[in-house]
Copies of this chain bind each other. A is one copy, B any other.
Amino acid sequence: MPHRRGFAHERDLVRRFWSYGFAAVRAPASGSKVKRVVYPDVVAVYKGRVIAAEVKTIRKPRCVYIDKNRVEKLREFATRAGGSAYIAVKVVGTGEWVFVPIENLVDTGKSFKITPEMLAQGIKLEALVSTIKGVRKLTEFARKDDSHEAT
């Protein structure tokens, strides 16, 4: 995937967070000079509650692999910021964003993996936002989403 496409998706996520009342930034192009500091692709903050996200895009349900080093950097960032780290997966076409906490990633040895099943059960952007804003708990949201799908 060319870099420009990646940036477009990151910008899309930043805009969405912004529309929900968050402050959000996307990372700059990763130049050779910034080896020591690795940024998350997107950082979103609402009243001191921080989300650090690595962005991945898929066109259809499939396994998503994330570099172990990237996950460690994301974890480090979130720990310092006092926030939470997620892999934000965009399903291109539907335009839907699904968030998987890094704690849930599957360790394959070489890298971390998200299965299509995990994506299906992942946290939708709207649910994540509501949780961060303290409107609803994730568990409530999951239940409500389930019942919706059943109808």
Counting CB contacts under 8 A, is A21 at the interface?
A: yes
Q: Is the interface of A mostly helix, strand, loop or mixed?
A: mixed
Contact A37 B15 (CB under 8 A): yes
Contact B25 A27 (CB under 8 A): yes
Q: Give the docked Cα–Cα distance between A124 and B32 (Å).
A: 29
Residues of B contacting A23 in the complex (Cβ-Cβ under 8 angstroms)? 43, 50, 52, 76-78, 80-81, 83
Contact B81 A21 (CB under 8 A): no
Residues of B contacting A46 in the complex (Cβ-Cβ under 8 angstroms)? 80-82
Count of identical protomers in the assembly = 2
Counting CB contacts under 8 A, is A11 at the interface?
A: yes
- Count A-side interface residues using an 8 Å CB cutoff: 35
Partner of A47, one of B14, B39, B40, B82: B82
CB distance from A94 to the nearest CB of B (A): 22
Nearest B residue to A26 by beta-carbon distance? Answer: B28
Give residues of chain A (97-119) contacting chain B, Cβ–Cβ below 8 Å. Answer: none
Residues of B contacting A18 in the complex (Cβ-Cβ under 8 angstroms)? 36-37
Counting CB contacts under 8 A, is A33 at the interface?
A: yes
Residues of B contacting A55 in the complex (Cβ-Cβ under 8 angstroms)? none
Counting CB contacts under 8 A, is A29 at the interface?
A: yes
Which A positions have Cβ atoms within 8 angstroms of B? 7, 11, 14-15, 18, 21-29, 33-34, 36-37, 39-40, 43, 45-50, 52, 76-78, 80-83
